[in-house]
């Protein structure tokens, strides 16, 4: 008994299943192949034909049995999918009724969040400009303070205290504007809380756009996915036009 035969359970009190019967057929086919490494004569070809017919019939029986067993299940799955996917479908290209309502809600919420982000972005940019201006003023006040201290050392009568006070006030204002700018930048991304799910935030959703077939294919180079897609499209093209498109050819071979 072959290993393959040993792996298939057999209930000797009932007729062989399609798989069990096919196994016995294939055992016979394998025996014939072992005895005939090549088929060279008409008699050998005639001897091989019954094995071919038996093997094809056995495989057809397996497929019929499989289809008989899975058809009710497939129909049940199809009915369930039809019922539920009419309302919710995870395929974004085929949204259900409830999906369409949710899509509209998300679109309106996203539109608001985009407007709010634009507003906050402008506020953050204005806060950054105010910070940079406060920094410039603080540095100038610091330079005047240093100049006043240097002049005082040379005996010039200057109000060092006033210069120091002005420098301190300018530096404090710079720090205040820095904190405000940092807070504005941190809050520039809109987040909507509430509810019981995660906080709603905007994200970047990438969409690829094909601008040139030729440039893209040339840049990518040989690729199985591109080849298969082109050949599939070529078959559709031939159905419409009656011939293959330029760049695609067909060969034929004799097969049983």
- What are the pLDDT digits (tens) for 123-180? 999 999 999 999 999 999 999 999 999 898 888 888 889 999 999 999 999 999 999 9
State the total domains in the chain. 3
Judge whether residue 101 has pLDDT over 60.
Answer: yes
Q: Which domain holds residue 74?
A: 3-85
pLDDT in tens, 19-62: 999 999 999 999 999 999 999 999 999 999 999 999 999 999 99
In this structure, is residue 91 part of a structural domain? no
CB 64 within 8 A of CB 18: yes
Tell me what pLDDT residue 65 has. 97
In this structure, is residue 8 part of a structural domain? yes
Judge whether residue 10 has pLDDT over 70.
Answer: no
Predicted TM-score (pTM) of the model is 0.66
Tokens coding 206: 């990438």
In this structure, is residue 213 part of a structural domain? yes
Tell me what pLDDT residue 174 has. 93
Tell me what pLDDT residue 12 has. 59
Average pLDDT, the chain: 92
Distances (CA, A) of 62 to 4, 22, 51, 72, 128: 16, 8, 17, 17, 74
In this structure, is residue 35 part of a structural domain? yes
Judge whether residue 6 has pLDDT over 50.
Answer: no
In this structure, is residue 28 part of a structural domain? yes
Residue 191's beta-bridge partner residues?
201
Q: Examine the domain organization and report whether 184 and 215 are in the same domain.
A: no
Write down which residue in 85, 116, 150 finishes a domain: 85
Q: Examine the domain organization and report whether 102 and 187 are in the same domain.
A: yes
Q: Examine the domain organization and report whether 152 and 127 are in the same domain.
A: yes
Q: What is the mean pLDDT of residues 171-196?
A: 92
Tell me what pLDDT residue 14 has. 81
Distances (CA, A) of 220 to 98, 109, 207, 249: 40, 39, 18, 22
């Amino acid at each position: 008994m072959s290993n393959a035969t040993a792996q298939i359970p057999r209930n000797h009190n009932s007729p062989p299943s399609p798989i069990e019967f096919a196994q016995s057929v294939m055992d016979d086919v394998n025996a014939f192949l072992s005895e005939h490494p090549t088929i060279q004569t008409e008699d050998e070809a005639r001897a091989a034909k019954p094995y071919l017919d038996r093997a094809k019939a056995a495989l057809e029986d397996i497929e019929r049995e499989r289809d008989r067993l899975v058809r009710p299940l497939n129909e049940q799955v199809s009915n369930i999918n039809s019922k539920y996917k009419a309302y919710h479908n995870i395929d974004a290209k085929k949204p259900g009724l409830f999906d369409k309502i949710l899509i509209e809600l998300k679109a309106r919420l996203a539109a608001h969040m985009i407007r709010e982000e634009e507003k906050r972005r402008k506020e953050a940019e204005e806060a950054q400009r105010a910070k940079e201006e406060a920094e410039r003023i603080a540095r100038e006040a610091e330079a005047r303070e240093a100049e006043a201290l240097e002049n005082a050392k040379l005996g010039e009568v200057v109000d060092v205290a006033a210069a120091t006070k002005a420098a301190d006030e300018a530096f404090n204002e710079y720090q205040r504007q820095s904190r405000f700018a940092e807070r504005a930048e941190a809050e520039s991304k809109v987040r909507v809380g509430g509810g019981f799910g995660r906080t709603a935030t905007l994200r970047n959703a990438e969409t690829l756009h094909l601008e040139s077939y030729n440039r893209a294919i040339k840049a990518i180079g040989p690729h199985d996915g591109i080849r298969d897609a082109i050949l599939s499209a070529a078959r559709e093209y031939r159905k419409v036009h009656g011939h293959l498109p330029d760049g695609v050819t067909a060969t034929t071979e004799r097969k049983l």
